[in-house]
Amino acid sequence: GRVQTPDYLSGLNPEQREAVETTEGPVLVLAGAGTGKTRVLTTRLAHILATGRARPWEMLVVTFTNKAAREMRERISHLIGPDAEGLRWLGTFHSVAAQILRRHAELVGLQSSFTILDTDDQERLLKQLLEAANIDTKKHTPKSLAGAIDQWKNRGWTPEKLPPGEDFAEGKGQKLYAAYQNRLRTLNACDFGDLLLHNLTILSQNADIAEEYRRRFKYILVDEYQDTNVAQYLWLRLLTSSSGNVCCVGDDDQSIYGWRGAEVDNILRFERDFPGAKVIRLEQNYRSTAHILGAAGALIAANKERLGKQLWTEDDSGDKVRVRGFWDGDAEARMIAEEIEDARRRGIAYKDIAVLVRASFQMRAFEERFVMLAIPYKVIGGPRFFERAEIRDAHAYIRLIQSEADDLAFERIVNVPKRGVGDTSVSKILHMGRENGVSAMQIVRHLMTSDELPGRTRTPLTNFVRDLDRWRDLLKTGTPHWQVMETVLDESGYTDMQKADKTSGQTRLDNLKELVQSMQQFDTLQSYLEHVSLVMDLERNAEEESSSGSVQIMTLHGAKGLEFPLVFLPGWEEGVFPSQRSIDEKGIKGLEEERRLAYVGVTRAKRDARISFAANRMVYGRWQTQMPSRFVDELPIEHVEPQSDTGYYSPTPAQRPQSRWDDKPFAGSSHDTPGWKRAQASSNKAIYGDTGFGANLHGGNASARNTYAPARKAIVE
């Protein structure tokens, strides 16, 4: 008999075990960070397979990322061996939906060989459609249309089902959407959003097929349920049989994809949709120390819209969460790099350390610092700073200004932003250059005065050359190279092109600002460009794994579900985190999502979490005074250690650049203190004193003023 408890179950607490062993009927595991939700899901999968309740291909298992899917597959094969290979339906929503769509493509007018368009193709197509409809693509960009269509698809709306209020370009929304879908069909293609949308169409219009899948999928498991959107939710409903063997795990406090259409309501709806659903709460956290949980718990308690839950841990060892203010972003990066080296000396492996940022522009300072100190690192979920397309574009401009022979730079930006120089013309120019042993730019200069090119190509090329000449003159006449960079980005139309992009334009603009700022640290353009090639080269070397792996740099969004012994959380400043957009927005929705993101960040740490903020950041060559994030204020003093002892950077007046502080009252003086800060100053437990910056940060409650802004004496002495 099989009376003995299998190994995989014995490590679980009673609630976790209940979640694993309640295999029949709907189960919702609603629990805070680090309580073992993902572990429950993995174990449940193993349990169902080990007890013969289903075969691997009868399980539908949905994770949030491909990486998470891979990890789950690995863990399962440890538990049950090679059978794990049969888990055909384990993956992300997109990957599973794509598989289903391939089998029934003809039902939505596609062939099973359909291609999935990337965003470039998608936008090119939308541009054609916009132009065909005589819509000004500067005002209504292909990118913004792509964004709108994506949101519609996230909500499960086909063109026919588009509600009246939803629109694009004054009444043309539905027509454009329908035209786009038709065009995709003739191309035998679909976009990412279609994967689920077509699934919904197939499953809701073909009862027999839906029934086939409902019979096939004996058990359904879903991780990170709080971040499912409407389309994903409807899809799950269509695939769930009446026996309803569906287990979803999630945490409303970690819902961070509202901006992409995720609906926390899906959690609340679960009990209504599945009457008799068993709701299991896990309260013991196995990941973090008491101080980390205490800090995270107090933080998230400031949110109004939440279900509320308790978390506890047996681990009351460990240090308080460190909070530290720095003079500026570079000082912050310098100190974090030093602390990483220090941790390494104490035996912590690089791979056990993470730097989690709110926005990708923050990564640059860390990458450069790590390169300089030969600390191996990896940027997870995105290219490294200098490898980003917008940074490469900017570099291409400045390189071409510096040297006309740089054909690669020429090729990269001659038609970015679009100036009507077609691919054919570009390759013709490059070809002619190679034939004659001269640069493409020389050919262009020659073509300007001949009639070998049609006028519609010649004019934009002529303007392009004039622009380059003008910018080069600026450089020659002593305009600082970083200012020239700014001018180039603005006058070339590059900035406007990014501004028009509602999806990721802002991120790219932030990265470009960061680029301009980093250029200021070099006296000449030449030395800057040398530095860049060096960094790029070293970065490549750094990729060779050291035995202790690499420090992970990633965004907070990308860190969901992961854990690290040591976590750095830099840039906790108003306008950075919470983001300016969430502050400007009406209502609390955006801010509460930012706070959940902060909660996700802190709860990634197992033993050590270190939060920091800088008093200054340079933006477009101007020092900007930063206010510490309101989230810093929300941390309870009993779990936080404001660091005051060592090496924070205190520049002498000579080193100090001209700043707004020189003629203005401090952001932190009562004069400038925003209402929300004043209002809570008297009630807040975490009062660090009125000077509160860097060396002056201290615990205690002597002062009713509650601010971290630098005191004048700290910088003027």
CB of 608 to ligand ATP, least distance (A): 15
Q: For the chain, what is the largest distance between any 2 Cα atoms, rounded to a whole number of angstroms?
A: 92
Q: CA 701 to CA 694: how far, in whole Å?
A: 17
455 in a labelled binding site:
no
3-state helix, strand, coil in the chain (%, to 5): 50, 10, 35
The secondary structure of residue 628, as a DSSP letter, is B
CB of 20 to ligand ATP, least distance (A): 11
Question: 8, 26, 27, 34: which one contacts ligand ATP (CB under 6 A)?
Answer: 34
Our finding on whether 38 is near ligand ATP (CB under 6 A) is yes
- Distances in whole angstroms, Cα of residue 427 to Cα of each of 120, 197, 414: 20, 40, 11
Which of these, 612, 610, 603, lies nearest to 572 by C-alpha position? 612
Residue 39 interacting partner from ligand ATP, Mg ion, none (CB closer than 5 to 8 Å by kind):
ligand ATP
CB of 8 to ligand ATP, least distance (A): 11
End-to-end CA distance of the chain: 80
Three-class SS state of 381 = coil
493 in a labelled binding site:
no
Q: At what angle do helices 290-300 and 589-602 cross, to 10 degrees?
A: 180
Question: 127, 153, 172, 287: which one contacts ligand ATP (CB under 6 A)?
Answer: 287
Residue 251 interacting partner from Mg ion, ligand ATP, none (CB closer than 5 to 8 Å by kind):
ligand ATP
**DSSP string over 67-114:** HHHHHHHHHHHHHHGGGGGG-TTEEEHHHHHHHHHHHHGGGGT--TTP
Question: 13, 23, 241, 415: which one contacts ligand ATP (CB under 6 A)?
Answer: 13
- To the query of whether residue 223 is one of the catalytic residues in this protein, the response is yes
Catalytic residue among 17, 37, 44, 677: 37
Catalytic residue among 38, 92, 226, 228: 38
- To the query of whether residue 224 is one of the catalytic residues in this protein, the response is yes
Beta bridge partners of 356: 554
Q: CA 19 to CA 48: how far, in whole Å?
A: 12
Indicate the residue type of 273.
D
Question: 107, 204, 258, 286: which one contacts ligand ATP (CB under 6 A)?
Answer: 286
Our finding on whether 69 is near ligand ATP (CB under 6 A) is no
Our finding on whether 38 is near Mg ion (CB under 5 A) is yes
Q: Count Cα neighbours of 560 within 13 Å in the Cβ-side half-sphere.
A: 23
Catalytic residue among 123, 191, 223, 633: 223
- To the query of whether residue 38 is one of the catalytic residues in this protein, the response is yes
Q: Which is nearer to Mg ion, 13 or 241 (CB)?
A: 13
Q: Which is nearer to ligand ATP, 294 or 561 (CB)?
A: 561
Contact 228, 236 (CB under 8 A): yes
Catalytic residue among 604, 610, 630, 677: 604
* φ/ψ (deg, to 5) at 408: -65, -45
Our finding on whether 15 is near ligand ATP (CB under 6 A) is no
Is residue 417 exposed (0-12), middle (13-18) or buried (19+ Cβ within 10 Å)?
A: middle
Three-class SS state of 146 = helix
571 in a labelled binding site:
no
Q: Which is nearer to Mg ion, 505 or 561 (CB)?
A: 561
Indicate the residue type of 162.
L
250 in a labelled binding site:
no
156 in a labelled binding site:
no
Q: CA 335 to CA 331: how far, in whole Å?
A: 6
CB of 154 to ligand ATP, least distance (A): 22
* φ/ψ (deg, to 5) at 7: -50, -45
Our finding on whether 607 is near ligand ATP (CB under 6 A) is no
CB of 88 to Mg ion, least distance (A): 23
CB of 32 to ligand ATP, least distance (A): 7
Q: Which is nearer to ligand ATP, 287 or 291 (CB)?
A: 287
Q: Which is nearer to ligand ATP, 72 or 125 (CB)?
A: 72
CB of 54 to ligand ATP, least distance (A): 22
Our finding on whether 11 is near ligand ATP (CB under 6 A) is yes
CB of 341 to ligand ATP, least distance (A): 26
Determine how β-strand 27-30 pairs with β-strand 246-250: parallel
Question: 33, 97, 248, 296: which one contacts ligand ATP (CB under 6 A)?
Answer: 33
Query: Which residues are within 8 A (CB) of 604 and not within 5 positions of it... i.e. 6 or more apart?
Result: 354, 356, 559, 562, 563, 564, 567
| Cα-to-chain-centroid distance, residue 476 | 40
Supply 372's token pair. Answer: 């300089």
Q: Which stretch binds ligand ATP (CB under 6 A): 20-28, 30-38, 106-114, 456-464?
A: 30-38
Q: Which is nearer to ligand ATP, 174 or 254 (CB)?
A: 254
Q: Which is nearer to Mg ion, 39 or 617 (CB)?
A: 39
* Phi-psi domain of 401 (left: phi exceeds 0; alpha: psi -120 through 50; beta: other): alpha
Q: CA 574 to CA 591: how far, in whole Å?
A: 11
Q: By CB under 6 A, what part of segment 242-281 binds ligand ATP?
A: 251, 254
Q: Which stretch binds ligand ATP (CB under 6 A): 37-45, 140-148, 309-317, 678-686?
A: 37-45
Tell whether the torsion through CA atoms of 54, 56, 58 and 61 is positive or negative.
Answer: positive
34 in a labelled binding site:
yes
- To the query of whether residue 472 is one of the catalytic residues in this protein, the response is no
Q: CA 303 to CA 188: how far, in whole Å?
A: 46
Q: By CB under 6 A, what part of segment 558-577 binds ligand ATP?
A: 561, 563
Q: Which stretch binds ligand ATP (CB under 6 A): 28-36, 416-424, 530-538, 678-686?
A: 28-36
Indicate the residue type of 165.
G
Q: Which stretch binds ligand ATP (CB under 6 A): 5-13, 200-208, 363-371, 489-497?
A: 5-13
- Rounded to 5 degrees, what angle do the CA atoms 364, 370, 375 make? 150
Our finding on whether 561 is near Mg ion (CB under 5 A) is yes
- Which residues of this chain interact with Mg ion, rule CB under 5 A? 37-38, 561
Q: Which residues are annotated as a binding site?
A: 31-38
Active site (catalytic) residues: 37-38, 223-224, 254, 604
Q: Which residues are annotated as a binding site for ATP?
A: 31-38
- Which residues of this chain interact with ligand ATP, rule CB under 6 A? 11-13, 16, 31, 33-39, 251, 254, 286-287, 561, 563
